[in-house]
Every structure is written in C-alpha cells, then in structure tokens.
Structure 1
C-alpha cells in the first residue's frame, strides 16, 4: 500500500505540478534586449489625433512586442542621454515643434547608430492650431518661409516632405527590398509626399505614388552610423482606438500596412 502511495505522490509531483507552471517562451537576446520609444509629447493627441501606444497606435505597439521588442513612450523633451537608452525612436505626426536642442539630440542619436522613423501627414494638418503641422516641423520651416539655416530633414538627411495633399489606395508601385518584403499594396488618405535632395546618396525609395514622378510614399536611408525611415501618412498605422469623440481611421489591417511597419522597425533596430 505504501508503495502505491509513493508512486501516486511521485506521479502528482512530476506531472500534476509541472502542468500548473507557466510556460515561458525564450526570445533571442538580440531582439528581446532592444527597446523602442514612441514620442507622445509633441501634440500626438491634438484635435482628432491619437497617435499613442494606448490609442490609435496600440496595435502597432503590440505587434512590436510580439516581435520581441520592449515598447515604451515618453512625453519628456528629448535629450541625447534619454534617446541613448533605446535602439529606435518613432515620431508619429508631431503637432508641437521640436526645439533646436531636441533636433540636435535626434540627429546625434541617428549619427551615433540609432534608428528614427519619421511619420508625417498631409499639409495644413495643424491640429492644435499653433501654426505648425508635421510637414513644417520635420522640414524645419513654415510654408512659404523657407530659410536654409532652419532646414532640418532636407539638409541633414537628404529628403523633405512636400506640401502636397493627395489620396491613393491601393498603391502598388513597390520596390523589392528588405523593408517591403511581403508588402504588395499600401494606401494613404490625405497624405503628403516625400521628395529627395542631393544631400544623401544613401537613400532607398521603397514605395512610389502612381503618376507622381519622384514623389515617394516611403523611404529609408543611412546617416552616419545610424538609420532612418519616413512615411507620408499617419493613418495607415491607425487601428481606430482612441478617446471618445476622436475621428480616427482604422487602417492598420488594411493592405500590408502592419507588415511594412514591423519590417521598418526591424531594419531600424538592425534586426534585418
């Protein structure tokens, strides 16, 4: 009898208890140790927008977590010491301008080896009515007031956002590369376009608009030891989640937006 009790005890100990333990999936150290930072401190919730990891970009953030990354957000002003804690910085359609010190920190972060994703929107999308929209902010100057010394992405990285506003869907003029792997179609609904300067020969055009020569939907490039990418619209990555009353655009699952988003971050994080 004692023998059967002993066998029963061992059976419970080996099988019963082990079945109650949580299963832990082992992520590669290369990916699991990398951190992604979303900017949420420059008007990302102004007007109808909600480009936050709790709002319209929540599924974007979750997709990155599922890919193995640590995802965080900040409302703090950017400094180099802050940015250096992360591998990738995502700038979703800012509506409050970055200071010169913040721009310098972002530039140096990329130059030192970091990755930055510039996500713009159409011209005149000034949601908080402070005189600046994302096109102006990234370009570094307001419309019709071009001053070369204020040029940001054009002078530094070799591209700028035009003051066009257009809608195209689907967009299928896609160049095959590591960012566009398994991306067959995308779309935009009231977006700007990207144009290139002669400042940087290390830019790759990923997606082009139909009938818009040398006007690009998505690009990526190298600056110093780091990487950057840019897209012309915030709504492709919007999942429709937001505060009550927000007029959002649930396009995350449309076309191949989610694939493009994750591919881009993996490249910026040097995992592709």
Structure 2
C-alpha cells in the first residue's frame, strides 16, 4: 500500500488544513465557442506516421518502408541521435533541398494534414512546404503557406488539403541551406469521411497536461522516459486484434489499445500543450476530437480551460470525468481531483452546475453490485457487455442535484438508488454527454513508468473494462 498525504487549501474562505493517510493505488485567452463541434475525419490507414519502423542511415536518395507505406527520402534519412527531435525513438532528418515523398496513393483522399517539425541540433532556421499530387506523383501543387522551422522543440504545422480521390503527399525543404530539419508525426485525415457516430472516425483525447503523472500515478495512454507523447509509441497502426496492452506503457494503455481495436484513434494531450476549444491554430484543439478523457487531474483548470471544456460538451463533445477520493493531492499543490472537478462545475463563465451533480469529499473502498435496474441503458448494457459490479479502492461519491438531467448508474452497496452515495453517473449538457466515475482504480491496468506503483483494476473486476468501454462509445455517440 502506498500512503499519500496532502493538505487542502481553500482560497475563500480558508477552512484550514487537514492531514490524512490515503490511497491504495497508485492563462490562455478563452476561444470563442463555435456553433457545433468540429468532427475530425477518419485517419488514413497507417497514420500517424512516426518514422519508427524504417531504417535509412544515409542522405543519398532511396526508398524506405515505413508504417504507412513506402516513402522516397531525398537528401534525407531516418535519425535516432540525441539531436534528432522526436516523440519516439526516430524521426526524419532533411537537409539542403531534400524531400520526403509518398510512393503510394491515399485512396480516401486527404482532408486535414499535420506535420511536427523542429530544428536539428544547433542548426539555424529553415523553411519547408507541403505539396500534394492527384496523379500518382506526376505533378504536385503546393498546399498552404511556407513554414519556417525556428525552434528545437517540435511544433505542429496544420494544412487543409481537402482533395478527394487518390492523393499522395510530399514534404519539401525549400531554403536550400545545409541547415537540417527534424520531421515527425505526420497525420492525414481522409477526405469527406468520419463523423461523431461512425466507427473508425472517432477521436479520443486523453489529458496529460494537468499533472496526471504526479506521484505514483500514470494516468495516460503512454509514457516514454517520463514524458507523454502526443501519439503513443509504437504507432497505433501496428495494433491488431491480438495486441497486448503492454504495447504501450502507462496505466491507461489497456483502455487506449481497446479503443484502437474497435477502429478509433487515440492521443495524449501532453504537458505544456494548450487546452482550447474553437482555436483553429491549435492542432489539438478540443473541436478536433469527439471525446475528452481526464483521469484524476492534479492541477486546477484555468478560467479559459474551464470555458473550453464546458463549451466542448455544450456543443456536442463527450467528457469522461474521473475523480479520486478526498485528500488525494499527489503533487501537494493544495488541490486534489475532487477540488478540481467541483471548481470546474461551480466556478466557470459558461454555466453553473452544468452537469447536475457534484463530487463529495469522501473516501470509500468497497465492491458493489447496486447497479441501476435497466435492461436498456447503453452504458450498463452496451456492445462491450453487461456491467454488474464496480470496485472502489479509495474513491469518492457523487450527489445528483434534484431534478437535474444527471442519471445515477451505480450506488454504494447498501444505498437506496437515489440522489446520494453514487459511484458512477452519466449526464448531458447541450448536445454533449458526460460520464463520471469517482475512483481512478477501475481504469488502472497495472502498468506504468519504472518505479511507479500501480494496480490492475482494469482486469480485477470483469465489469470494469465493460463499463469504461461502453461509456466511451456512448460518449462518442456510437451507442
């Protein structure tokens, strides 16, 4: 058992400090909300391309087989040195007037395309462009504006290609200097497909930007050397029906791998990345996703972030809200996840108590079978199976506001199926959906960074995976 200690600090009024043993488990400017959530298109087969599977060690022109297909690298190679900027172990490195060219067509066309880029080592700034061909590479047309690479940290350039039919892409370095550029994580969304309710097109974003790795926790899809990459590595394109959850390393990898097996795409929102809604310049803006998963945040959301989250739900997005028990402040900043979620719901500029519930300052441990008696509820009886139990290993409880739209789903063992002592609930707000579970243990798959203590809650109770997966698909409007 790992013991955690924290002091809760209240700004107004100051209620004092409390010290307890607990836990047996491990300013942005507000964007103007758009009228409806922007639904991302289906990712093209084999993308995102992270350059993790190919080998090319020389700049001489040659073809290399990558996860997405065959590419010709001209005055370019696959780099894996410390100076090669990357999210996994490799990225493409281009010099002079080099290029990265697809040798295959995207049969579903190309909608939105993003490319991560950074300066190599101490080299000066360089420029590059994205080009597209609709005749199998005979001729190309420039897409968007010329990009300047000026920092040694990966930045994301976004392009709107919007070409139907067979399309292939080419990245061209254009300044002709010997300065080198690292390219990584090329994403391609198929043209004119996808949507909120379609399998294969649904995009899930897992938050890792609010100290979800604090203490012994690893509440992310993948953690590499203490860092959560946007795209878990190895690439999701390598996942098959028999892939083990150890394909990625973090406490939520089982969840992520299971979603990919159903044809969905998943990403982390890394630490330091802006959390926005309606900001077209941010490639990870919430409007580009169907479902936002936040498992036990440990830092407060800013005013702008709270506006973004609630507006995202209001305009059709899905929010999976996971809390932990009272006094579970893993980073000792005075706020635990109970504080943080209640602050979101009571102290925002959009709507007071938007989801019709609150999280209690409680700490319970029990296995319950006190499940809502409904044979049709899609979260309890969805495509992933029937939910009959839920085990909390130190979790909080939920109270529903009388008359609100919230729907309690699971209660404590001896509780009346009413407004209190709730352990799992769903809700709606605007055209969006919300699911709340007030313990992080059921989603924990028992894997994490070296030295972290996590527990296999995902498989401890058979209903845990079914509950989280049914809830995920309901939030995505697939159920």
TM over 0.5: yes
Report the Cα distance in structure 1 between the residues aligned to 2:339 and 2:328, rounded to whole angstroms: 10
Q: 1:40 aligns with which of 188, 191, 208?
A: 208
The structure-2 alpha-carbon separation of the partners of 1:149 and 1:116, relative to structure 1 and needing over 3 Å to count, comes to closer
- Does structure 2 conserve the Cα–Cα contact (< 8 Å) formed by 1:138 and 1:152? no
Q: Which residue of 2 aligns with 1:220?
A: 426
User: How far is the alpha carbon of 1:212 from its aligned partner?
Assistant: 3.7
Post-superposition Cα deviations, 1:99-133, rounded to whole Å, max 9, x if no partner, equal 01001000100000000010000011000000010
Higher strand share: 2
Residues 148, 46 of structure 1: CA spacing in aligned structure 2 closer, same or farther, 3 A cutoff?
closer
Separation in 2 of the partners of 1:153 and 1:93?
22
Q: How does 1:22-61 map to 2 (within 5 A)?
A: 30-54=198-222, 55-61=250-256
- CA drift of 1:221 comes to 1.1
2:467 aligned with 1:269: no
Output the CA distance in 1 between the equivalents of 2:371 and 2:300: 32
Pairing partner for 1:180 from 380, 397, 404: 380
Larger Rg: 2
Structure 1 residues 219 and 154, CA gap change in structure 2 (3 angstroms): farther
CA distance in 2 between partners of 1:231 and 1:154 (Å): 20
**Mind listing any 5+ residue stretches in structure 2 that lack a counterpart?**
1-192, 223-249, 279-284
Does the CA contact (< 8 Å) of 1:154 and 1:197 recur in 2? Answer: no
Partner of 1:78: 275
2:357 aligns with 159
TM-score (norm 2): 0.48
Which structure has more RCO (C-alpha within 8 Å, separation ≥ 6)?
Answer: 1
Give the Cα separation in 1 of the matches to 2:352 and 2:445.
30
Instruction: Tell me how far 1:155 sits from its aligned partner.
Output: 1.6
Moved over 4 A (4+): 147-154
Q: Deviations over 1:163-189 (max 9, x none)?
A: 0101002x1011131101111112010
Separation in 1, partners of 2:390, 2:406: 20
* Shift in alpha-carbon separation, 1:251–1:36, aligned structure 2, 3 A: same
Which residue is equivalent to 1:15? none
Deviates more, 1:205-214 or 1:43-52: 205-214
Match of 2:456 in 1: 250
Alignment partner, residue 318 of structure 2? 115
2: CA distance, partners of 1:31 / 1:72: 17
Aligned length: 238
Alignment partners' CA distance in 1, 2:211 and 2:473:
26
| TM-score (normalizing by structure 1) | 0.83
* Gaps in structure 1 of 5+ consecutive residues: 1-27, 142-146
Conservation of the 8 A alpha-carbon contact between 1:110 and 1:116: yes
Q: Which deviations, in whole Å up to 9, do the C-alpha atoms of 1:121-153 show, x marking residues without a partner?
A: 001100000001000000008xxxxx9656999
